[in-house]
Amino acid sequence: MGEVSVPSDKLWGAQTQRSFENFKIGTERMPKEVIHSLGILKLAAARANRSLLPQRMTEDKLKFIEQAALRVIDGSLEEHFPLVVWQTGSGTQSNMNLNEVISNLGNQLAGRRLLHPNDDVNMSQSSNDTFPTAMHLTAVLETEKSLIPSLDRLIGAFSRLEEENKGIVKSGRTHLEDATPIAFSQEISGWRSSLERCRQMILVSLEPLRELAIGATAVGTGLNAPKDFDRTVAGEISKITGSSFYPAENKFHALSSKSELVNAHGALKALACDLMKIANDIRWLSSGPRCGLGEITIPENEPGSSIMPGKVNPTQCEAVTMVSVQVMGNDCTVGIAASQGNFQLNVFMPVLIYNYLQSLRLLSDCMESFRKNCVEGIKPDRKKMSENLNRSLMLATALTPYIGYENAAAVVHKAHRENLSLKESCLELGYLSEEDFDRYFHPEKMI
């Protein structure tokens, strides 16, 4: 293809340079997490090749590949990975970026031309199996490292809030209308339990991602890879990361289908849906301070308006809901990308993992911010809750076992129409004596 000039202060080579020049599209660079995972894979592959192909992967070559790969993994070489997401759909150019950087750095460390990017660093591999392997690695490791800890801390914050607010009874709401009473702690427990269930679903969704495409090489047949290469690499990756990974049972599926990532992102979308619901509940319950529900207060973090003095808005809730809609949109992208596997390869992989990681990162960050700047500062307004509870007409539900549904409905309509209490309405209609009403009507026992 002719000569190409590569900056002398960079470790990449001709293939990376061509991609850098030919794909001036957007600002979204290949995520550093994917680069680090490819570094882990290159280290594991070199060790596996040393074990299985010692005549080709010599101890000397392994030594310098290891040193260079560890630099990739620790993040100290990030300036040498300039490629954007919008490149070849197989991720070949980013795989070659890794191969070139590791071989060039290894040669610098060795003081001679010892390593070749294709023959040595990419030995027994193809971009078609390394990139999907890195995708699975990244999804599992980043979920374990950032998302689950953030989710656990948010669950813990709701658990503490639930315990602190036991004994407070308030009006429930269904269809945005008054409903029968509920304990505030019960309402919080619903939020907590939703997040706990999401946690379970996310962890279950990681299990299929632990199967790796490595060893499939170009089309799934394993051409040019030694026997047991897949199992050996997966074992090495498990040792390096401390997390369990296995070779995919069917390599043809592993290259052409991305259903495991669709499934895993679906669990992220479920979390986004529940966060949307929780954030909306909190901002509506805190609405006011005088013309809304006003049953809780949330931290006043910053002014809410450039024109209305003293206004404070539920900004953390708004950030959570914006993240949630972004994740839902990303789920559409992930699904469409995964549907485009043609014959033996899916060529939408960079955009798929980019969106997956963005969802993961946004959810992790927003849960941390939501917890610190909102949830941990939620306080009940007991007076407002009691006032709303005692004004609720749906407390008449407690009377239905004694006067029947139709009569209880008549009590409600009369009370609402004439601005009476339920007791006054019931007594005027003659359905119960005052003594019986007081015996049956106990809102605090309706939870």
Q: Which residues are known to be catalytic?
A: 175, 305
Closest CA to 247 of 262, 264, 227: 227
Distance (Å, whole) CA 166 – CA 161: 9
To 10 degrees, what angle do helices 184-209 and 259-285 make?
170
Alpha-carbon 440 to chain mean position: 48
Q: Is the dihedral of CA 276, 277, 278, 280 positive or negative?
A: positive
Helix or strand holding residue 116 (H, E) = none
- Which tokens hold the place of 9? 């202060």
**Residue 312, Ramachandran bin (φ over 0: left; ψ between -120 and 50: alpha; else beta):** beta
Is the separation of the CB atoms in 55 and 123 below 8 Å?
no
Sequence letter at residue 197: R
Torsion of CA 54, 60, 66, 68, to 10 degrees: -140
Is the separation of the CB atoms in 338 and 385 below 8 Å?
no
Q: What does the buried/exposed string (b/e) look like for 168-198 if buried means 16 or more CB atoms within 10 Å of the residue's CB?
A: bbbbbbeeeebebbbbbbbbbbebbebbeeb
Residue with the two structure tokens 């500062």: 377
Report CA Rg, the chain: 30
- Which tokens hold the place of 280? 């909306």
Per DSSP, helices labelled H in 172-312 are: 184-209, 229-241, 251-256, 259-285
Is the separation of the CB atoms in 208 and 173 below 8 Å?
no
Q: What angle do CA 388, 393, 399 make, to 5 degrees?
A: 125
